[in-house]
Amino acid sequence: MGDELVLVTGGTGFVGITCIIRLLRDGTRVRTTVRDLARADEVRELVRRGGADPGGVEVVAADLLDDAGWSDAVAGATAVLHVASPFPVRQPKDADELIVPAREGVLRVLAAARDAGVRRVVQTSSFAAIGYGRPNPGRPYTEEDWTDPEGPGVTPYVQSKTLAERAAWEFVDREGGGLELATVNPVGIFGPALGTDLSTSLELLRQLLDGVYPVVPNGSVGAVDVRDVADLHVLAMRHPDAAGERFLAVSGDAITYLELARLLRAGLGDRAKRVPTRVIPDWIVRAGAPFSRELRQMSHELGRRGDASHAKATRLLGWTPRPREDAVLASARSLVELGLIRD
């Protein structure tokens, strides 16, 4: 395994840094991309906090919107974990702010990987590319399902992940040469934070723990631990049967926001005393939807369940995730330890 070199794009992100740590613990050499080399020391510090040797990671500069740097980034790599993609806390007014870098970025990485003779690329897609814009199928979502990017309530982020994954499969099919592709499609990603630059899911928990909102919406969120997501990326990279496949990363059924709030209260005691335990009535959300983008998006999710199945990843790759409750509480405790929850 010492001769294996894996490129991980987006080394400062929540999933990216966890994949790096996972690979380093295997003894795998890692190269990672950042947009600005000024963040190289940040990557190494996060690796150190995660319990791995930062000396095993090489940091290079490459931007999803620029050809510069990608041929050097993939040189000598046997596989690529393409994790980098924009995920905003607030949805932009112009969907292209997310769609263009997501779609152009994955095509740029795939072309560079093909030209460098990389064996396999694992793309971090999302449940966003599976479970939106269509009526609920009345069963847990599977990898056979695809989001309709023009469907009702579909946000720019959901569009970006769907169109980027579609573009990736089309590229490999038409002009990929011998390049193999697999995708990992996580639901909401929780688990222990290593730094203060929070992902969207962890920012949601921080706001709940800080009492930013007095109520929670009548909706639900899927949950999976970031460490299990990293494990699934590595399995999808190495397993011979993973080529050409999508894999949902999910742990159990979706958890309602009220269940999430009660879990935080039970697991963190006084640290969670500001977490709201009342649900905002649906009629208030609908009444405010014409005047607020946040409420308008929330109105499409009222009462909706996004249950999904990890049966395929378990059957083909032997992947077994932690319980969703463990993932959420690991996130919350890490936020407290990092001093991100006000006293």
Active site residues: 161
Alpha carbon distance 329, 2 (integer Å): 35
Return d(Cα 177, Cα 7) in angstroms, integer.
19
The CA–CA distances, whole Å, from 70 to 11, 105, 305 equal 14, 10, 40
Q: Which residues contact 336 (CB under 8 A, 6 or more apart)?
A: 209, 268, 271
**For residues 198, 188, 216 and 258, what is the CA-based torsion angle, rounded to 10 degrees?**
-130
Cα 308 from chain centroid (whole Å): 15
Cα 313–chain centre separation: 16
Can you say whether residue 145 is alpha, beta or left, with left for phi > 0 and alpha for psi between -120 and 50 degrees? beta
Q: Which residues face 337 on adjacent strands? A: none
Q: How far apart are CA 187 and CA 296, in angstroms?
A: 21
Residues with Cβ < 8 Å from 277, sequence gap 6 or more?
216, 258, 261, 262, 265
How far is CA 26 from its chain centroid? 22
The three-class DSSP label of residue 129 is helix
Give alpha helix (H) positions in 50-149.
Answer: 70-74, 96-116
Contact (CB, 8 A) for 130 and 147 = yes
Helices (H) and strands (E) in the chain, counts: 12, 11
**Other residues' Cβ atoms within 10 Å of the Cβ of residue 317:** 21
C-alpha to C-alpha distance for 29 and 86, rounded to whole angstroms: 26
